[in-house]
Structure 1
Amino acid sequence: MLKLSVIVSGRGPLPHLRACLDSVTGQAHPALDAVVAVPDGDAPARALAEAHALRDPRLTVVPVPPDASPAAARATALDAATGAYVQFLHPSDRLPEGSVAALAERLARLAGNRPAEGGAGRAGKGPAGPPAGGPPDALPDVLLCDHHRATWWDDAVPGDDAALLNRGFGAPATTLDRRPDLLDVAPLLGNRLIAAGLLAAHPELVRTDGHDELYLSYATLLLARRIACCDTVALVHRHERPAQRRAAGPERHFAAFGQYERLHHLAGATAAPPALRARLYDRMVGDYLRTLARRDELPDADAAEYFRRAADHTDRFRPEGHRRPGGLDGVRHALLGHHAHLCYRLLRIANDGRRALRTTAARQARRAAAARTRQRYRRALRRPVDEDLAVFSAYWGRGVHCNPAAIAAELGELAPDIRQVWLVEPDRVPLLPPGTDHAVPGTARYWDVLARAKYLVNNVNFPDAVVKRPGTVHLQTHHGTPLKRMGVDQQAHPAAARGLDFEALLARVDRWDYSLSANTHSTETWQRAYPSGFRSLDYGYPRNDVLYRATAADVLAARAALGIAPGTRAVLYAPTHRDYDTRWMPRLDLPRLARQLGDDTVLLVRAHYLHTDRPTVPDHPGILDVGRYEPVEKLLLAADVLVTDYSSVMFDYANLDRPVVIHADDWETYTLTRGVYFDLTAEPPGPVARDQAELADILGGGDWCGEAAAKLRHDFRLRFCQYDDGRAAERVVRRVFLGEGEESLPPVLPLDRRTPAPTPQEAVRR
């Protein structure tokens, strides 16, 4: 059995390193060993790595000097590796579950295949042969794999290499001479297994400063005698946001010059054929042009020097007879090759003007398309209603979330013959669960399904243009228990009512057939705030069913997904949106609070969903930004205590009967600008802090989980967890979709007879 070594080196946030090591030690394959290079002086990272090593003897921790270069750290770790193949990871990377076993199986299948005669490529330039214990000659020097990109804690987004890799899947190993297109596979170290023999034959690869990820990714392919492809997703690579790339500084962009220069010299030394050198050249120029296009990442002060150096490479390394691409890309390519920086800038200015004109034309085209769509929608409204079609939406097309998601899941169990279509914005489509039938707003199918569906389910409102047809059923699920004023109750609060057309709002409300409620307070509020003819369903919130159905294993899995180590207290900080402040900033000094709470506590920071596209969460080893983590119910299961101000998440979390602390530093301002339905500071679910010092004292002592806090929480639960008992979704589906009478629905279980999901401490004991 071939042994595989995973090497983790580099610096990254502690939660990312934890998730990375969990993903490595979670691989069950017996042929795996792992080496983690930890800088001396980084005590938290070393403690974390050594804790994993204690639990899994396959993992070895090696220290490196705190100022060690990436190459030195990789070399130190490689010396401790014993595998025939090596996979390099950054601490922010993860291994998908079962990937090592799948890769080992792929190598086993390749073991019986040998490359075709004459396929050695640049003979003598690869490794002389496998070392003792290394792979046999039939196996490749590099196995290229697929990868996913992780935008945050959301599901990974598929990369762009699947089609390219599938061309070689199932075939014996090939050579780069025959497949120069393999240079187009994303240049990531983690998406390839590299034979230890290749690295042993070329020690300079991992022992030379400046031979970083870009160089190593291409150099291993240039030196490999045999390359194979695999469609296994072997890596989840964390995709950096533009702000992170800017924070790294322009030095990262300039580092590419040295790496590409060495790559061209290596291509010459290995006698790479013209087609291969042209492919490498195209990759280089494409990278340079993409960097120049990122104006926000390359300051003007550096752009001219970057252009000069990119132009020098474009001119100097251009292969003889190379043909530039056509169209505008070819023009940019030519300007770069001729050092025409002024012309390049003028072209960019002209393109900006053309884009502005195209934007105007596109706007006019959209208006014409909208008119055609309205006409199509009117025609669809004349067709019969589809009795077996249900349309779902949540948070204005953000995906499969909240109460609609829980109802849809239950509907799939109790009435699988009813087809489900989700309305989802284009940028959210890649994050949908596999196989989710969906329609993008504004498209022809979007209006078709809205016109013909029997059932329409949303936790906000559908667009004004949607027509309520006779015989259709509109279910409004809402997305929280109201503390703040809602609907027409906002009229007395200008900050909240700014830009709100109450007549249009009530016209949308008039389409509701049912309004879902979790407690009497909500029922009465919805009836007053949204005066119309809908029927209230006092069934509980389906999204909270999981808070009663989750097992100890579910709780532990939720914490493991976030990288929360056993014994660590997880404090979920989830503030709400403020109408008087258009941009979200934490109202706490989070790094100071993290220091005050100690190393045994991690702060899970979740901004309101209106602000998740522009969060401001400081980078700190004790802080984890979970603003985009979905579903939120798993965050609730993972947390030991909730800290919030006025967010409705407190009503959901109270179902777990776990501690809640209120941080009400601007209560008077909030009540004045938004308006509230009751005094939270007088009827809280737990202790109330009016400033950060008071909050730190509460969390640092025992008040957050003492008897007084438990009594407040019990009274709060009696009032606001009235109908949540784990069977809300079933009641909704049976009543709304199956037409069962109230008398046949599961009765709501009294609070004293319910059993919430176990706490993290209880889950460990079970």
Structure 2
Amino acid sequence: MFLSVIVPVHGVQGYLRQCLDSILEPGCPGLEVIAIDDKSPDGCGAILDEYALRDPRVRVVHLEENVGLGEARNVGLSLATGEYVWFFDSDDYTAEGSMLSVYERLQETKPDVLIFDYARSYWHGKVQRSVINKLFREPPAPDTFALRDRPSVLQLMMTAWNKAIRREFLVELGLKFSGGYYEDINVTYPILMAAEKLSLLDQVVYIYRQRRRGAITRTGGKKHFDAFKQYERIFAFMAQHPETDQYRPLMFDRTIWHLLVILGRGDRVLPEDRERFFSEMSRIYRTFRPADHTLPEDVQLAAKYRLIEKNNFRAFETSKKLNERRISAKKRVRKYRGKVRKTVRFAKGKANGLYYRTQLRLPVDENLAVYAAYWYRGYACNPAAIYESQKELAPKVKGVWVVKRGNAAKMPEGVPYVVAGTREHSRLMARAKYFVNNVNFTDDPVKRKGQVHVQTQHGTPLKKMGLDQMEFPVGANDMDFRELIDRADRWDFLVSSNPLSSEAWDRGFPCSYELLETGYPRNDRLVRATDAERAALREQLGIPEGKKAILYTPTHRDYMKRFSPQFDLRRFTEALGDDFVLLLRAHYFYRPKSMGLPEDRIIDVSSYPIVEDLAIASDALLTDYSSIMFDYAVLEDRPIVIYANDWDTYKLTRGVNFDLTQQPPGVIAFTEDELVDAFASGRAWNDTAVKDRTAFRARFCSWEDGNAAERVVRRVFLGEQLPKPAR
């Protein structure tokens, strides 16, 4: 084995697939990936097992308890067989083609340590190469060298993930990763000082993801004091290896630099701990400062060194505050403008705005909930299912719906509602405690302390969603992603229908909500549907007795401006004959005009408000990339046919979260002839289709047991904890 990539895994289900796919690049001989499931609380363990089943290069170890990143790396190292080891963080990934570059450089130079460059990938789409990348080439480096020949290497990122290390060299040094926030520096600095042969690869190999949330080193707390123990370990290593003593001045400066960085970042050391942290830094300074050390040439840095040596925290803080004031003065005008927000305007008209501001001064009503769906279209989807369950389980809470004026008459009898844009709407948004919607509410309402927002979404995301859309401009359609994330920051809970959704939501909406892995509340009806209900719905919809009703639900295509069937509907229905009828339901983005289609063969149900009714009433589903396939699969005895004539175009323009063509929920057709044959020949009902549908349902419908709405209500309205779903 040539290269062992060790990947500790914990709580990164949204990013893990990209990480593994980037490592498992074809053409890398002698590669093994040792993935350590550090008792991940999400779906990471199942994802790892999935990869291990299909790729023999992947080996998975499931730990019985969470041991932390450092110890998980040690476990991986003990199992590695490669000549080289590479410690890889599971939320990051490699640049395209870079695995082969690492292989080639290792084979060419045979170093003890290979160091390569990285880029930071920010949540808002910016990707930036390391700011000190010039150190890889200025001055030009020989193929291999020792640290004494190029001491600037110590300034490169001190992490483990930007280095491939000769395994025998590392093991012989007896170095182990420790616990804590800075678990790798007591390994990465010593190996640079002890190596006889270092090599550089002037190429962005590693993409370091700057997650919007979840980075422990950017979390304030006392654990940042761990840095002192780590640097003490480094100096202890140097004492045991006298050949490294030549690097003591360099290592000392690097230590003080890093400790100043930790203290200087406002999000790390807590205010009440700053003086103690400074005192510890002073201790490290006096303990490990070499006798021949000289102060830095930089005047400001040299002044900090003197204050650290004297443990003069008060003067250090005074200097810091003066500097902050200078910076603040330059930004004051821009900062002021940035704070100006239109939070005082909620509804159209000055009167409603004033009324809303008045209502904001009154207490939040603990027993009032706002429900809405599809931009105030009416009573539908997951919010409707949650509303029904909430009435039963939390009857003290009054649920009120927000609807557009034109849709008010369609509200079910007995369901309270207000019309969007009215004073009643303003009062509701200002005073209610709970908010349940399957899309975002408008930006104007202020989220008050104590208010709880539940985002249910309205479909399992085959297509890319949220921040994932940034790579697909057609699908993004000039979307303001910062505003999108600002809205998602309001969510306290986000409902997930299946593991695929959980992964997609983690990536697409990296905010601080609680993920409710409950299944989809709207699918409870499908689980509980009866024959009597089905018969009544068929009669209501006018489905002729004895005919098979095919529900056709084409999805929205971002590259199309209007609804256009992807096949000849007249030809299709004529080819199937009198035994079939087509229920045509265009996507709600469209308002299809009459197409002169035969009414005896096609029933236009585009305006029918409840899609669950259509699913229950039908005999089979015909769709393309609509999320309804995941819902319909709950109906175990109903065939699903996918018409994927433009799959490559859709995948390119919208982006997808998994390859539907490799795991369809039944028959997949790419041409009109194949589509007709799927129904006319009975293939949609044959054993192969049933087997595919069963596998699809096992992967995507395992949480659908008819109790999803109840689980949401129990967690949100009753405060109960939910058990983790099976994967």
Query: Which TM bucket (shorter chain)?
Result: 0.5 to 0.7
Count how many residue pairs are aligned between Structure 1 and Structure 2.
449
What one-letter code is carried by the residue in structure 2 that aligns with 1:61?
Answer: V
How many Å separate the matches in 1 of 2:279 and 2:614? 56
What one-letter code is carried by the residue in structure 1 that aligns with 2:505?
Answer: L
1:729 counterpart residue number: none
The answer to whether 1:324 aligns with 2:295 is: yes
Quote the offset at 1:75 in angstroms. 2.2
1:35 counterpart residue number: 34
How many Å separate the matches in 2 of 1:684 and 1:319? 82
TM-score normalised by the chain length of structure 2: 0.52
Kept in 2, the 8 Å contact 1:703–1:709? The answer is no
| Secondary structure of the corresponding residue to residue 320 of structure 1 | coil
- Given candidates 272, 277, 284, the residue that maps to 2:255 is 284
Kept in 2, the 8 Å contact 1:496–1:579? The answer is no
Quote the offset at 1:10 in angstroms. 3.7
What one-letter code is carried by the residue in structure 2 that aligns with 1:343?
Answer: A
How many Å separate the matches in 2 of 1:91 and 1:699? 43
Quote the offset at 1:160 in angstroms. 2.4
Quote the offset at 1:576 in angstroms. 6.9
Kept in 1, the 8 Å contact 2:249–2:290? The answer is yes
What one-letter code is carried by the residue in structure 1 that aligns with 2:151?
Answer: P
Quote the offset at 1:100 in angstroms. 1.6
Quote the offset at 1:155 in angstroms. 5.3
Kept in 1, the 8 Å contact 2:112–2:196? The answer is yes
Q: Deviations over 1:574-628 (max 9, x none)?
A: 64752344999998524xx48x989x98994469535257552679845525569
Quote the offset at 1:654 in angstroms. 7.1
Please show how residues 634-653 of structure 1 align to structure 2 within 5 Å.
652=558
The answer to whether 1:171 aligns with 2:146 is: no
Q: Deviations over 1:89-130 (max 9, x none)?
A: 1111112222121111112322xxxxxxxxxxxxxxxxxxxx
Q: Give ranges in structure 1 of 5+ residues lacking alignment.
A: 111-138, 364-489, 499-571, 630-640, 642-648, 663-682, 690-696, 714-752
Kept in 2, the 8 Å contact 1:41–1:66? The answer is no
Please show how residues 345-356 of structure 1 align to structure 2 within 5 Å.
345-356=317-328
1:98 counterpart residue number: 97
The answer to whether 1:589 aligns with 2:470 is: no
How many Å separate the matches in 1 of 2:614 and 2:84? 48
How many Å separate the matches in 2 of 1:18 and 1:252? 30
2:281 counterpart residue number: 310
Quote the offset at 1:173 in angstroms. 1.1
How many Å separate the matches in 2 of 1:584 and 1:609? 25
The answer to whether 1:52 aligns with 2:51 is: yes
Quote the offset at 1:215 in angstroms. 2.0
Please show how residues 80-159 of structure 1 align to structure 2 within 5 Å.
80-110=79-109, 139-152=110-123, 154=125, 156-159=127-130
2:505 counterpart residue number: 624
The answer to whether 1:72 aligns with 2:97 is: no
Please show how residues 151-230 of structure 1 align to structure 2 within 5 Å.
151-152=122-123, 154=125, 156-167=127-138, 171-206=142-177, 212-230=183-201
How many Å separate the matches in 1 of 2:235 and 2:68? 23
Kept in 2, the 8 Å contact 1:5–1:85? The answer is yes
How many Å separate the matches in 1 of 2:617 and 2:158? 52
2:516 counterpart residue number: none
Kept in 1, the 8 Å contact 2:182–2:226? The answer is no
How many Å separate the matches in 1 of 2:179 and 2:216? 24
Q: Deviations over 1:332-384 (max 9, x none)?
A: 22212211111112222322343455568x99xxxxxxxxxxxxxxxxxxxxx
How many Å separate the matches in 2 of 1:143 and 1:234? 12
User: CA 1:241 to 1:626, structure 2 compared with 1: closer, same or farther past 3 Å?
Assistant: closer
User: CA 1:207 to 1:188, structure 2 compared with 1: closer, same or farther past 3 Å?
Assistant: closer
How many Å separate the matches in 1 of 2:158 and 2:258? 11
1:578 counterpart residue number: 443
Please show how residues 642-721 of structure 1 align to structure 2 within 5 Å.
652=558
Q: Deviations over 1:729-752 (max 9, x none)?
A: xxxxxxxxxxxxxxxxxxxxxxxx
How many Å separate the matches in 1 of 2:186 and 2:266? 24
How many Å separate the matches in 2 of 1:236 and 1:250? 27
1:430 counterpart residue number: none
How many Å separate the matches in 2 of 1:165 and 1:315? 33
Quote the offset at 1:147 in angstroms. 0.7
How many Å separate the matches in 1 of 2:2 and 2:198? 18
User: CA 1:10 to 1:709, structure 2 compared with 1: closer, same or farther past 3 Å?
Assistant: closer
Kept in 2, the 8 Å contact 1:87–1:193? The answer is yes
Kept in 2, the 8 Å contact 1:602–1:622? The answer is no
How many Å separate the matches in 2 of 1:754 and 1:33? 37
How many Å separate the matches in 1 of 2:614 and 2:304? 59
How many Å separate the matches in 1 of 2:321 and 2:126? 38
- Give the root-mean-square deviation of aligned CA atoms: 4.9
Quote the offset at 1:263 in angstroms. 0.8
1:254 counterpart residue number: 225
Q: Give ranges in structure 2 of 5+ residues lacking alignment.
A: 335-345, 355-436, 468-478, 495-501, 511-521, 523-554, 564-584, 590-603, 628-644, 663-667, 671-727
Quote the offset at 1:201 in angstroms. 0.8
User: CA 1:213 to 1:284, structure 2 compared with 1: closer, same or farther past 3 Å?
Assistant: same
Quote the offset at 1:756 in angstroms. 9.4
Kept in 2, the 8 Å contact 1:5–1:34? The answer is yes
1:544 counterpart residue number: none
Identical columns (%): 21
User: CA 1:653 to 1:279, structure 2 compared with 1: closer, same or farther past 3 Å?
Assistant: same
The answer to whether 1:343 aligns with 2:315 is: yes
| Secondary structure of the corresponding residue to residue 254 of structure 2 | helix
Q: Deviations over 1:181-233 (max 9, x none)?
A: 11111112111100011122134424788881222221221222211111132
How many Å separate the matches in 2 of 1:699 and 1:147? 52
How many Å separate the matches in 2 of 1:159 and 1:269? 33
What one-letter code is carried by the residue in structure 2 that aligns with 1:157?
Answer: Q
How many Å separate the matches in 2 of 1:341 and 1:158? 35
Quote the offset at 1:243 in angstroms. 7.9
How many Å separate the matches in 2 of 1:762 and 1:243? 31
TM-score normalised by the chain length of structure 1: 0.50
How many Å separate the matches in 2 of 1:323 and 1:346? 25
Quote the offset at 1:65 in angstroms. 2.8
Kept in 2, the 8 Å contact 1:29–1:101? The answer is yes
User: CA 1:359 to 1:153, structure 2 compared with 1: closer, same or farther past 3 Å?
Assistant: closer
| Secondary structure of the corresponding residue to residue 9 of structure 1 | strand
| Secondary structure of the corresponding residue to residue 305 of structure 1 | helix
1:668 counterpart residue number: none
- Given candidates 234, 237, 241, the residue that maps to 1:263 is 234
What one-letter code is carried by the residue in structure 2 that aligns with 1:21?
Answer: L
User: CA 1:170 to 1:345, structure 2 compared with 1: closer, same or farther past 3 Å?
Assistant: closer
Quote the offset at 1:282 in angstroms. 1.5
How many Å separate the matches in 2 of 1:702 and 1:217? 60
How many Å separate the matches in 1 of 2:217 and 2:179? 26
How many Å separate the matches in 1 of 2:647 and 2:213? 45
How many Å separate the matches in 1 of 2:118 and 2:588? 41
Q: Deviations over 1:387-438 (max 9, x none)?
A: xxxxxxxxxxxxxxxxxxxxxxxxxxxxxxxxxxxxxxxxxxxxxxxxxxxx
Kept in 1, the 8 Å contact 2:122–2:210? The answer is yes
How many Å separate the matches in 1 of 2:586 and 2:235? 61
Q: Deviations over 1:22-71 (max 9, x none)?
A: 21223432232111011357572221011111221111112223232433
- Given candidates 192, 205, 212, the residue that maps to 1:234 is 205
Kept in 1, the 8 Å contact 2:6–2:76? The answer is yes
Kept in 2, the 8 Å contact 1:188–1:217? The answer is yes
How many Å separate the matches in 2 of 1:305 and 1:98? 47
Quote the offset at 1:169 in angstroms. 6.2
